């Protein structure tokens, strides 16, 4: 995966911005993808903040709250999966991170806002992610046949479930990264999940022993 981890224009951010330097456990989680992850962290801390994709207060916790939180979700994606759609990709979380983690996976970043699409395209080019593309549009207006769909901070689970059925194949898996509200969102979404024929809906915690806190994900499968 070709990437220069010492960009002259952004490398200073890793030396001066608290939280941009990877914590000790990052190498164990990211493995060979640590170099691209470091470069992506600098992009988020500089251009991402300048363009309003993340708030400046998020920079000190880029690794713990965002990058590592997304990276461990790769543990839930079976090696037989070939295509992933990241709904409302925004700043590329989790889509770009998962593309780094699983280079054999074809990743589509689905994002309706032009300025975010531009940022994502720049990241893909500079990180050398040949397995990743950007598609401008809304999930509910798009028809894809992905094996797995991911989403983070996009919509409440009941609304997200209806979006996801447009971008996964029959039997495809949906992974919604949630926080402390996961169980409550799942309870409220049960009627919608039943109506769309979703199965196996559950709250799972991934990354135990790797990240603290572990990442909370609502997982279900399409009809």
The chain-wide mean pLDDT, for the chain, equals 92
Query: Which tens digit of pLDDT belongs to each residue from 199-213?
Result: 999 999 999 999 999
Pairing of strands 146-152, 168-178: parallel
pTM of the model: 0.91
| Token pair listed for 154 | 């996009």
Query: What's the mean pLDDT in 9-23?
Result: 60
Residue 6 pLDDT greater than 90, yes or no: no
Query: Which tens digit of pLDDT belongs to each residue from 108-161?
Result: 999 999 999 999 999 999 999 999 999 999 999 998 999 999 999 899 999 999
Contact by Cβ (8 Å): 211, 68: yes
- How many Å apart are CA 143 and CA 11, to the nearest integer? 39
Look at residues 83, 71, 77 and name the one whose alpha carbon lies nearest to residue 110: 83
- How many Å apart are CA 210 and CA 67, to the nearest integer? 13
């Amino acid at each position: 995966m070709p990437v220069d981890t010492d960009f002259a224009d952004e490398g200073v951010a890793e030396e001066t911005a608290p939280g941009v330097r990877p914590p000790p456990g990052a190498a164990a989680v990211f493995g060979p993808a640590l170099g691209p992850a470091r470069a992506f962290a600098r992009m988020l801390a500089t251009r991402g903040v300048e363009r309003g994709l993340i708030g400046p207060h998020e920079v000190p916790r880029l690794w713990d709250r965002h990058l590592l939180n997304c990276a461990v979700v790769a543990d839930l994606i079976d090696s037989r999966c070939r295509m992933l759609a990241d709904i409302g990709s925004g700043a590329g979380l989790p889509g770009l991170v998962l593309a780094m983690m699983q280079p054999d996976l074809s990743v589509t970043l689905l994002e309706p806002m032009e300025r975010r699409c531009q940022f994502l395209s720049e990241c893909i080019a500079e990180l050398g992610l040949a397995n990743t593309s950007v598609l401008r549009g809304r999930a509910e207006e798009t028809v894809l046949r992905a094996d797995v769909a991911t989403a983070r901070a996009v919509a409440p689970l009941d609304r997200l479930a209806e979006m996801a059925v447009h971008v996964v194949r029959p039997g495809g898996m949906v992974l919604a990264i949630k926080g402390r509200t996961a169980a409550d969102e799942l309870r409220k979404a049960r009627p919608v999940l039943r109506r769309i024929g979703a199965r196996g809906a559950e709250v799972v915690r991934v990354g135990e022993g790797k990240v603290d806190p572990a990442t909370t994900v609502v997982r279900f499968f399409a009809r």
